[in-house]
Amino acid sequence: MGGLGGTEILLIVLAIVLLFGAKRIPELFRGMGQGIREFKDASRDDKPEFRDRPTNPNDPNAPRV
């Protein structure tokens, strides 16, 4: 199981161009970049989570672990 060589990468790029067309490729990658950026922003959310708060075992509304 080796890595991808130059020929394999060229064939993959050619297949992508044939499937999506040269004009739609920038839109495709732009959408992927926005999705990755939104995922990173959501994962860096500064809201405290339940696990970060001390819990009172006598509180009936305390989250169960």
Predicted local distance difference test score (pLDDT) of residue 48? 55
Q: Tell me if the pTM is above 0.85.
A: no
Structure tokens given for 13: 């790029």
Position 63 scores a pLDDT of 62
Tokens of 54: 């001390």
Q: Render pLDDT for 4-58 as a digit per residue (tens, 0 to 9).
A: 898 998 999 899 888 888 888 888 889 999 999 999 888 876 665 555 556 666 7
Higher pLDDT, 60 or 48: 60
Where are the domains positioned within the chain?
21-47
Predicted local confidence at residue 8, as pLDDT = 92
